[in-house]
Chain A
Amino acid sequence: MSDSVVFSRRDFLKLVGVGVAGAAAGCAKPPADKLYPYLVAPDDILPGVPYHYASTCRECPVGCGIVVRAREGRAIKIEGNPKHPIGQGGLCARGQSGLQGLYDPDRVKSPMVRNGATWKNVTWDEAIAMVGEKLAAAKGKTLLLTGLESGSTRALASEWAAAAGARLVMWEPFGYEAVKAANAKTFGLASVPRYAFENARCVVSFGTDFLETFGQPVSQARGFAAMRAKHEDGAGHFISVEPRLSLTGANADEWVAIKPGAELSLALGMAHVILNENLGPALGERGAMLSAVSAFTPEAVAAQTDVKAEDVQRLARLFAKSSGKSLAIAGGIATQGPNATALVAAVNLLNYAAGNVGSTVLFDRPLNLDGLASYAEFAAIVAEMANGAFDVAFVHGTNPAYSTPAWTKFADGFGKVGFKVSLSGTLDETAALCDVILPSAHALESWGDAQSAKGVWSLQQPSMRPLPMFDSRPFGDTLITLATAANVTGAWGATAFDDLKARWKAQHARFGNGRSFDLFWDETVAAGGVWEDAANTSVRWAGTPAFAAPAAAEGDFALVVTPSNNFYDGRGANKPWLQELPDMTSKAVWGSWAEIHPETAKKLGVKSGDAIVIETSAGKVEVPAYLYSGIRKDTVALGLGQGHTAYGRYAQARGVNALALLPEGTDAASGALAYQGARAKLSRGSKAMGLYLQQAEKNQHERELAQVIPVAALLAGGHGEHGAHAGHSLGRLTEKGGILSEEVQTKPGKYTEPLARPEGYVPPAHSLSAFEPKEKVRHPKSEPVSEGSYGKNAKHRWAMAIDLNACNGCAACVVACYAENNIPVVGPELIKKGREMAWIRIDRFEDKLDGGANDVRFLPSMCQHCSDAPCEMVCPVYATYHTSEGLNGQVYNRCVGTRYCSNNCPYKARSFNWFDYSAPEKTTFAFPEPLNWQLNPDVTVRSKGVMEKCTMCVQRILEGKGNARDEKRELRDGEIQTACSQSCPTQAITFGDLADPASAVHAKSYGERKYWVLEELHTRPGVTYLQKIQRETTNEGHA
């Protein structure tokens, strides 16, 4: 009996029948997709064509101008408005993430009423009737607590409050109280000036994160980059004075690791030197000022600050050398301690003594903080609440239950209010304490405006209809309907929109220029607002406060509580992009950590990631340790923004809230809440902690990835590291340690001779690279192997130039790339395994970081679009290939996931889809409804097993080329911008056509300071880097 026939012919035929039937049944066509037409086509929407709406960013109180890109009625991308005076086209990471606030899956879905420990959904009518009744009954005992509102919303809120007998209190944790108080005292003007970095040639920052959260970060970053650009006199110094080097400080030429809380002594000491040596302009106040600072001699300062007396003098002289063009800046949260106002006053004195007020410190466009409550006023309200002064409280746009420390007793006081209503769109900590939630619409789906700075009236236009799954209403509309329900009448319009429009009659009168109101309105909405050049309010020295030396601190460690570049005061923590965006100091994600000096760690016996306990008189927290050389040995730093107990799935239960460590304390002069000044004890913790580092290694290991050029060498027309130690690069040392002469491979050979080309040969555009090898290597591929039949019509070579001197590490580009390219958020565990999906990352390299001369370098890193790409030659299925326009293409549907390309990429530019981030049924799903509404329809959402990487936004290239063809014209340089180059506040990234000799990218790629990362590999990258300019601060002056 043979084994070969296992079933009879009859069985076989049966099987055939079953097989075919099974195939037919199982593979019957899936239910066909449906196409639903519009009932009536909207005039302004053509499906498939993007629309852009000018609006105003509301992610922090600054209010930058933005342009929202919408497709098929969905907002899919936010960019800066290039014409707007605030932001000037750049937009920070927080602003980019506004979309995830709009599409937050944990937004409140409908009005809710507390039902014991849970919530009950009610209709708007029920909720309004219920709250209106309480409002009517509570006449005179109502509180309206909001975040900073300016413009029409504030006008409406204050009229509403007046009519309803309510008190309007606007509270922001970062309220600039010390700056206002100090300026009121010294300049007679209680406002936050505009710091004109672009006019400055020397900047000294006293712990102020002006590139992160302080002032107008995006505009300031633009000005700062101009200050740091090449100047013929070699100037452009930046010195950072702070106990813990912030992201802003990481850009400094010198880090003065000052004793925490003693910053004011150094400012006064510098002023003392300048006044004493008469280095500044002639001042009538000089005598009075000198006597005010007489106690702060360099020697006295040295004793108070840990800064040597000669350094005090040196810094003062360096600062005064640019007298009238230097800038000292203070007032950030990282210095808001018990003497915050005194510090700002001291810095004002320093600026005044150096003649900077009126040139770099300008009151032409101060931040509009009118009506913002001080902490003292806030505390008074809390006390009144505790005394039962309010029967009803409304909260909108602020979250004090999270953002004020426990000792303020906000929660206790708030609990004493009989009836609490939250008008928040999310269930944040304060909303969780309320009785009713009337969800407000997101700023991107409602009308509004902002008067963020003097002379700027910015309109906030909805970029889409309110999301259908969230039954929310604009804040203004809720106020108006509540008033109607409570029989409160006022002069406001029937809806918030009517009210807004009516209030803009005032702007029409001013900016109308004879246009009808409707025309003015339409044009203003399209432009994003109206603005005028504001005249500077010149100030004189109004009075010198008495300065006291900072008190010597007691206790083991100084606790520095740092504002977050990602989360601001914590309001960004519910956005997965911002959680996944590495903190640019530690490169950690998704949590909290304490920064301690490696020597401190050694003493405690902890390694990176081990738990440590920080204990202050107010409380203790246990967090993983991050070993950071950029902090003093007697200091520990903890970031703000994490540790939410509510606020949605992404924010909740991540890390710790640093505010829990703050003992009761305020700034003596302004009464502002003191974030600094606490003393802490450190000890080893016992819990297993997760420290998720996206980049654990911050040493370049002499690979010269991020390069610098000394300013002297630049001005002499020389080279930086590239020329100076080219021989130090890997593989170019002889066995004996000597350096080989330039011509290393001179032996002619069949495969090392350049290809023979006919006379007059023009290489195809796609093969262009600005790359020039340092050694005269005979290399077979000075041009690409194949020109390809497809390359004949190509006219472009897309390329980038990245100026490391302009990059300050703010990482706005990273979030812009996530938004544009549908990049999934993978969470902390996968990041720890190196499986982050980001297409662009900012590498941080700490070359010198121990006080004094400071050398931290940021390297935006993405696919280099090499002309000789290592990835292309190893792909077995041609999924990655070179396009006819010089791009390194990645075809997802061709990719079979061998990952050879990633293994062979020296730049770690490629990321692999280990899991199905786009499948709703999987736990790794990255786009829970409605986050998926944000997905860019022009970019494929990748599936599991597929490699992906930067495409230089090929969809934008195609769109730009298409627009040019529609208009029957040539492409214009700068017309196509990648998401990263568009968002960059400092324009550090230039994108364009290298084949166009008139393009900006051509000029930069072939200009000075150029180099290529890992150029010894001869990948001939399409991305050219420009070296960072390194300035010495120790030679008392400019190079």
Chain B
Amino acid sequence: MNKTIAAVLVFATLAVASVALSQSFSVQMGANKGPAQPIKFSHKIHAGKLQMDCRFCHYGAYKSQWANIPAMSTCMGCHKIAVADRPEIIKLTGFWDRGEQIPWVKVHTLPDHVKFNHKRHVQSGFQCQECHGPVQEMDVVYQYSSLKMGWCVSCHRQNLNDQKRPATMDCLVCHH
């Protein structure tokens, strides 16, 4: 056997294996830290300490397929006055004054061939935490659930015959 081919084979196998391993780790260990955001917005303070309803900001969640991230005017509604002297709020005000959009880093990403509909799930009574985890305890939001198809399907299967919120196992509901 040619040494080069063997070397390439070992390299490729290990590369694939280590990717698989690290990916599944990062998913399973919940990746305690989410991505660093341009402003250190804390859900722990807003949703936890201040007990704000998730839908106060993410108002699309019950009427659109997307939960939506709030407009900066929503932030400024309070922060024009509230704790306006804190460094992170000064950053926010800076963006606002410059008329610049905050480049939030996306935490939850689905591939293009998956269509998830927030409205359907929220309207049938799901709590945001069931999928997004204890957001009210997160200083930095991270991806709590795997968002893999098996994870979706297991819940759908459990609720297949639910009287109140019957789920469907039809592929086309998400893949169209």
Decide yes or no whether B80 CB sits under 8 A from chain A: no
Instruction: List the A side residues contacting B111 at CB < 8 Å.
Output: 893
From A6, A23, A48, A887, give the contact of B15 (CB < 8 A): A23
**Range of interface residues on chain A?**
35 or more
Decide yes or no whether B158 CB sits under 8 A from chain A: no
Which positions 35-83 of chain B face chain A at CB distance < 8 Å?
Answer: 35, 60, 63-66, 68-74
B73 contacts A41, C-beta separation under 8 Å: yes
> How far, in Å, is B103 (CB) from chain A's closest CB?
5
Instruction: List the B side residues contacting A893 at CB < 8 Å.
Output: 111, 113-114, 175
> How far, in Å, is B106 (CB) from chain A's closest CB?
4
Decide yes or no whether A534 CB sits under 8 A from chain B: no
A35 contacts B104, C-beta separation under 8 Å: yes
CB closest chain-B residue, reference A878: B171
A883 contacts B170, C-beta separation under 8 Å: yes
Instruction: List the B side residues contacting A940 at CB < 8 Å.
Output: 112-113, 115, 175-176
CB closest chain-A residue, reference B162: A793
Decide yes or no whether B155 CB sits under 8 A from chain A: no
Decide yes or no whether A785 CB sits under 8 A from chain B: no
A958 contacts B113, C-beta separation under 8 Å: no
Instruction: List the B side residues contacting A789 at CB < 8 Å.
Output: 160, 169
Instruction: List the A side residues contacting B25 at CB < 8 Å.
Output: none
CB closest chain-A residue, reference B120: A962
Q: Given A6-B6, A27-B19, A938-B176, A883 and B11 touching (CB < 8 A)?
A: no
Per-residue interface assignment for chain B, residues 76 to 112, with 1 indicating a CB less than 8 Å from any chain A CB and 0 otherwise? 0000000000000000000010010111111001011
* Bound-state Cα–Cα, A954 to B22, Å: 37
Decide yes or no whether A32 CB sits under 8 A from chain B: yes
Which positions 775-809 of chain A face chain B at CB distance < 8 Å?
Answer: 789-790, 792-793
B71 contacts A19, C-beta separation under 8 Å: no
Decide yes or no whether A889 CB sits under 8 A from chain B: yes
* Bound-state Cα–Cα, A966 to B62, Å: 10
Decide yes or no whether A15 CB sits under 8 A from chain B: yes
Instruction: List the B side residues contacting A751 at CB < 8 Å.
Output: none
* Bound-state Cα–Cα, A793 to B3, Å: 60
A20 contacts B14, C-beta separation under 8 Å: yes
Which positions 1-49 of chain A face chain B at CB distance < 8 Å?
Answer: 3-4, 6-7, 12, 15-16, 18-20, 22-24, 26-27, 32-41, 46-49
Number of A-B contacts (CB under 8 A): 162
* Bound-state Cα–Cα, A881 to B94, Å: 54
A37 contacts B104, C-beta separation under 8 Å: yes
Decide yes or no whether B123 CB sits under 8 A from chain A: yes
CB closest chain-B residue, reference A821: B176
Chain A contact residues, majority secondary structure: loop
Instruction: List the B side residues contacting A3 at CB < 8 Å.
Output: 1
B60 contacts A48, C-beta separation under 8 Å: yes
CB closest chain-B residue, reference A952: B172
Decide yes or no whether A519 CB sits under 8 A from chain B: no
B101 contacts A36, C-beta separation under 8 Å: yes
Decide yes or no whether B147 CB sits under 8 A from chain A: no
Decide yes or no whether A404 CB sits under 8 A from chain B: no
B104 contacts A892, C-beta separation under 8 Å: no
CB closest chain-B residue, reference A72: B66
* Bound-state Cα–Cα, A26 to B22, Å: 13
Per-residue interface assignment for chain B, residues 8 to 29, with 1 indicating a CB less than 8 Å from any chain A CB and 0 otherwise? 0011111110110010000000
CB closest chain-A residue, reference B66: A48
Per-residue interface assignment for chain B, residues 111 to 150, with 1 indicating a CB less than 8 Å from any chain A CB and 0 otherwise? 1111101111001000000000000000000000000000
A40 contacts B15, C-beta separation under 8 Å: no
A32 contacts B35, C-beta separation under 8 Å: yes
From B104, B169, B171, give the contact of A36 (CB < 8 A): B104
B113 contacts A47, C-beta separation under 8 Å: no
Per-residue interface assignment for chain B, residues 156 to 176, with 1 indicating a CB less than 8 Å from any chain A CB and 0 otherwise? 000011000010111111011
B170 contacts A884, C-beta separation under 8 Å: yes
Decide yes or no whether A941 CB sits under 8 A from chain B: yes
Instruction: List the A side residues contacting B1 at CB < 8 Å.
Output: 3-4, 6
B106 contacts A41, C-beta separation under 8 Å: no
Decide yes or no whether A939 CB sits under 8 A from chain B: yes
Since A4-B1, A7-B3, A36-B101 are in contact, a sample of 5 more A-B pairs with Cβ atoms closer than 8 Å, ordered by chain A residue number, is: A6-B1, A26-B15, A37-B102, A793-B160, A955-B176
Question: Can you identify 19 A-B contacts, CB atoms within 8 angstroms?
Answer: A12-B10, A16-B14, A19-B11, A19-B12, A20-B14, A23-B15, A23-B18, A27-B15, A27-B19, A35-B103, A38-B101, A47-B68, A49-B60, A790-B160, A790-B168, A790-B169, A793-B168, A883-B171, A894-B175
The residues of B with any CB-CB pair to A shorter than 8 Å are 1-3, 6-7, 10-16, 18-19, 22, 35, 60, 63-66, 68-74, 96, 99, 101-106, 109, 111-115, 117-120, 123, 160-161, 166, 168-173, 175-176
* The 8 residue pairs across chains A and B that have the minimum distance between CB atoms: A19-B14, A48-B64, A41-B71, A23-B15, A48-B66, A38-B71, A33-B106, A790-B169
